[in-house]
Structure 1
Amino acid sequence: MDTIFIIIIILIFGIIIKKLFTQTINPYRFSKILIWAQQGKYFNFLGYPIFYYDSSVRDASAMSKPTLLLLHGYPTSSIDWLYMRDELEQRFHIIAPDYIGYGLSAKPISFPYTISSQVNMIEQLMNSLNLNQFHIMAHDVGDTIAQEFLARQIDDRQYIIQSIVFLNGGLFPEAHRPFFMMKMLKTPIIGVIIQYIVSRSLFSLTINRVFGPSTKRTKQELDEITDLLFYNAPYNLIQQLQCYINERIICRDRWVNAINKVQKLEKNPIPIRMINGPFDPISGKHMVDRYREIIINPDICLLDTNIGHYPNLEDPENTLKHFFDFHNSIST
């Protein structure tokens, strides 16, 4: 009991200190984020505003093109797709949401930040836009969200997933190698304390560890990421968001089996490709090796050996090449 009391006191003290010495976070101070926000829209989910990018804002012909749902990673947001957007828009109608708890979307203090809740939100978004068939490209936690989409496709949802491209992500929990801080952040109480005691600069350094040796982010780019992460964030946000790591273990069979099952569906089988940055210490080449062991007819494209966890940021040109080669092959 005394230990719990001491932890609570430390937490309260940390919150007060951080509030006193931390400047108000304003991601709109960065022109890149401001322009992205101005080109986006908001959708109401359970009373919470959810930000999403819809290419029809810029592209008058978007509605005549096939739809591509872009699912970003943790701890970033839909702006991750900015460097691939122009090329993708030439062929697709793009929808790229910020999940609840991420980016410019609402970050309620009390919300079940589960993968299922995120998929429920995206399902409602796509339904509100009358988009009932779409391709998916996903990254990191977006891979896990896409896996739940695949599992629901087997459950006979009324929408049709036309294809999936996975970028680096923890598809198999036994092959996922999270950093020590990631493990601590998902731990109740401890994760909350870390969120308020650890400086944003240390978070930035942790983020940069997953990039390749020649593709690390600049200080401004890291500030953009952390501003979007902590913008309007409650005291316990990071600890809650990190719990998807636990869900991967609990739902492992459902989500892993779904990848194989959807490729064998009699009606509308779903083609799948993996594009991987092998330098990634969390889900790089070792995740590819596990993918080859488990997945039937694995379709894998490896990027340069120095590309890390964020192919869409570190090597958008070659990621796009492999993505379009895949879509050219399935369209014929």
Structure 2
Amino acid sequence: MTAPSAIALDAWRDQGRSFNVAGHAIHYWTAGDTAAEPLLLIHGFPTASWDWQRLWQPLTARYRVIACDMLGFGYSAKPRGHAYSLIEQADVQQALLAHLGETRALHVLAHDYGDSVAQELIARHQEGRIRLASCVFLNGGLFPETHRPLPVQKLLLGPLGPLVGRLFSRRRLAAGFARIFGPHSQPSETELDDFWRLIAHDHGPAVMHRLIRYIPERRQQRERWVAAMQATDVPMRVIDGAFDPISGAHMVARYRELIGAADTVLLDGIGHYPQCEAPQLVLEHYLHFRQRLERRACNAGPC
């Protein structure tokens, strides 16, 4: 299998399009055969859909791949004074699917903040409000009791949050990423520049203290989301960088306690951003998961 190749940030931006949700511009990307199975990619905090750039080409060769920068992130609108929520971000994902006319059962691949959005989509699947075909989680706070936020995240949640956000810088981003990436899979200076460009676009640090409210929202939604994951027939897998101090091996241990027949993969030495640190491994484990689903479907009926 050919190693996933990078997409330059400017080229990535130029490939995107925009649509409006409640008066806010949402930047999105889609590629691949429209007849292929739909795959929704959901990014994390504080970055954007460019996180998926090394997986984009191999995934679009197989599936109809859809991604957007969620409200408050990347190249999408970042309204000041807005009460951002994970529930609203799930609404954004469904609005994008409606905009594209995509009504088929949906495969989901999510990371970090996006894991919580995916959990909300699983709950909505259980309620008959969307149809999911599968869900794969990369490192994220699936359970509030295992989430270990960085010091800057705690500060953003506090009374000085607006000031902390405004003072957030490329230097602080680099320091935080140095802690959460694996020791041998650190981002390059060029990658850090591009991550920072996405965060800083349209004064993004000014809304970080509002976006960070996802942490208490996770606690509020925990029982609903975990109950949905325990009850669902949606096939799920966790592919997790074990080195991650935020949601690494300790989160996977909790997942195995709570989710029956848990399907989990731990990537030794890899941190919080496995799709950036070890894209080849993530791709291999993701495709293995999908191939297993296909074999199951063939065994159940004509292929």
| Conserved? CA contact 2:108–2:118, under 8 Å | yes
The one-letter code of the counterpart of 2:288 is D
Structure 2 residue 144 is matched with structure 1 residue 173 = yes
The one-letter code of the counterpart of 2:202 is N
CA offsets, 1:164-206, max 9 Å, x none?
Answer: 001100000001111122111122x411111223443123211
Displacement of 1:86 in angstroms is 1.2
Distance 1:198 1:88, change over 3 A: closer
- Aligned partner of 2:29 in structure 1 is 53
- Aligned partner of 2:68 in structure 1 is 97
SS in structure 2 at match of 1:166: strand
CA offsets, 1:245-294, max 9 Å, x none?
Answer: 1111111101111111112xxxxxx1001101100000000001000110
Spell out the pairing of 1:197-208 with structure 2 (5 A cutoff): 197-208=167-178
Distance 1:152 1:225, change over 3 A: same
- Aligned partner of 1:237 in structure 2 is 207
State the alpha-carbon separation in 2 of the partners of residues 273 and 39 from structure 1: 30
| Conserved? CA contact 1:76–1:229, under 8 Å | yes
State the alpha-carbon separation in 2 of the partners of residues 312 and 174 from structure 1: 24
Spell out the pairing of 1:135-150 with structure 2 (5 A cutoff): 135-150=107-122
State the alpha-carbon separation in 1 of the partners of residues 171 and 193 from structure 2: 8
State the alpha-carbon separation in 1 of the partners of residues 69 and 169 from structure 2: 24
- Aligned partner of 1:294 in structure 2 is 258
Distance 1:156 1:289, change over 3 A: same
Spell out the pairing of 1:213-252 with structure 2 (5 A cutoff): 213-233=183-203, 236-252=206-222
- Aligned partner of 1:119 in structure 2 is 90
- Aligned partner of 1:34 in structure 2 is 10
Structure 2 residue 104 is matched with structure 1 residue 106 = no
Distance 1:195 1:213, change over 3 A: same
Task: Please provide the CA RMSD for this pair.
Answer: 1.3
Distance 1:70 1:179, change over 3 A: same
- Aligned partner of 1:275 in structure 2 is 239
Structure 2 residue 282 is matched with structure 1 residue 319 = yes
State the alpha-carbon separation in 2 of the partners of residues 233 and 193 from structure 1: 13
SS in structure 2 at match of 1:64: coil
CA offsets, 1:107-161, max 9 Å, x none?
Answer: 001222100111111111101111122100000000000000011111211x311
Relative to the length of structure 1, the TM-score reads 0.84
Alignment: residue pair count: 288
The one-letter code of the counterpart of 1:261 is A
Displacement of 1:37 in angstroms is 1.0
Query: Which of 144, 151, 155 pairs up with 2:127?
Result: 155
The one-letter code of the counterpart of 2:131 is I
- Which runs of no fewer than 5 residues in structure 2 stay unpaired? 1-6, 296-303
- Aligned partner of 1:6 in structure 2 is none
| Conserved? CA contact 1:186–1:239, under 8 Å | yes
| Conserved? CA contact 1:109–1:234, under 8 Å | no
SS in structure 2 at match of 1:123: helix
| Conserved? CA contact 2:28–2:68, under 8 Å | yes
- Aligned partner of 1:5 in structure 2 is none
State the alpha-carbon separation in 2 of the partners of residues 135 and 235 from structure 1: 31
| Conserved? CA contact 1:70–1:96, under 8 Å | yes
State the alpha-carbon separation in 2 of the partners of residues 328 and 231 from structure 1: 38
SS in structure 1 at match of 2:84: coil
Structure 2 residue 51 is matched with structure 1 residue 80 = yes
Relative to the length of structure 2, the TM-score reads 0.92
Percentage identity across aligned positions?
39
| Conserved? CA contact 2:199–2:205, under 8 Å | no
